[in-house]
């Protein structure tokens, strides 16, 4: 099967948090690897895409119990069914961590920057404070958060787990799933901490912009 990937471009600062801070530095640290490169975990990305796919089905008035609907079946096949504790719970779609493109990572590492230099070159610190009813900052409410800077591009690999061995047949079998996935990608526009407050605004593509639009067009033709 032809390799597939998701490409994410940050239009605004984003924090893909790891749930803790660094004493004396930031209250909320960004997820990053040992070389200092920020990333978005594949498991988190899959959950966000599943949420977007559910938004698409809701817009089509396809309910959670419409199990005979082909688009509901595609969503369940891709993202799984909760609570089963087996392969059906996981779904056939596997998404790798969203990282900087390999060529850029290699060039940065070749430059000799250490992990702190790498992290600080791609991120910034944002500070905010709570405001009391009088319009003044609340005492001891100042908090800092590390953010991934706008313009950064992340890429994640996609893998579809099927039982078939014929490569062309795999692509044919998954054509409905590809169309739904491309539509969910177009719905997916925000991620990370503060995503409902203007942070983490994204442009997302499946493979590339033309293939995303082509798959969405096919999806739109089918549902009309």
Chain segment 61-93, per-residue pLDDT in tens? 998 888 889 999 999 999 988 665 555 578 889
Which helix H or strand E contains 56, and what residues bound it? helix 42-59
Strand, helix or coil for residue 9: strand
Asked if pLDDT for residue 105 goes beyond 80, the answer is yes
- pLDDT score, position 47: 92
What is the model's pTM?
0.82
Q: What is the pLDDT of residues 3-59, one digit of tens each?
A: 689 999 999 988 887 665 555 566 778 888 999 999 999 999 999 999 999 999 999
- pLDDT score, position 167: 54
- pLDDT score, position 141: 55
Number of residues in the chain: 224
- pLDDT score, position 162: 62
Q: Cα 44–180–216 angle (5° rounding)?
A: 115
Q: What is the mean predicted confidence (pLDDT) over 199-211? A: 85
- pLDDT score, position 38: 93
SS3 content of the chain, % helix, strand, coil (to 5): 40, 20, 40
- pLDDT score, position 100: 94
Q: What is the pLDDT of residues 106-137, one digit of tens each?
A: 999 899 899 989 988 999 887 766 666 766 66
Q: What is the pLDDT of residues 169-185, one digit of tens each?
A: 555 567 888 889 999 99
Strand, helix or coil for residue 38: strand
Which helix H or strand E contains 151, and what residues bound it? none
Which helix H or strand E contains 74, and what residues bound it? helix 70-79
């Amino acid at each position: 099967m032809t390799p597939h990937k998701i490409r994410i471009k940050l239009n605004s600062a984003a924090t893909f948090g790891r749930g803790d801070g660094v004493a004396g530095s930031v209250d909320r640290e960004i997820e990053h690897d040992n070389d200092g490169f920020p990333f978005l975990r594949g498991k988190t990305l899959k959950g966000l895409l599943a949420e977007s796919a559910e938004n698409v089905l809701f817009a089509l008035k396809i309910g959670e119990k419409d199990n005979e609907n082909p688009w509901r079946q595609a969503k369940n096949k891709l993202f799984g069914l909760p609570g089963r504790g087996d392969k059906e719970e996981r779904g056939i779609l596997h998404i790798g961590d969203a990282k900087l493109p390999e060529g850029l990572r290699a060039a940065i590492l070749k430059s000799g920057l250490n992990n702190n230099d790498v992290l600080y070159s791609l991120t910034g610190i944002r500070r905010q404070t709570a405001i009391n009813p009088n319009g003044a900052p609340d005492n001891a409410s100042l908090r800092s958060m590390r953010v991934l800077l706008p313009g950064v591009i992340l890429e994640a690999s996609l893998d579809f787990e099927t039982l078939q061995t014929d490569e062309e047949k795999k692509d044919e079998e998954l054509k409905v799933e590809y169309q739904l996935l491309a539509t969910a990608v177009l719905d997916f526009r925000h991620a990370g901490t503060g995503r409902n407050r203007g942070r983490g605004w994204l442009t997302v593509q499946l493979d590339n912009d033309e293939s995303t639009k082509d798959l969405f067009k096919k999806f739109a033709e089918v549902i009309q």
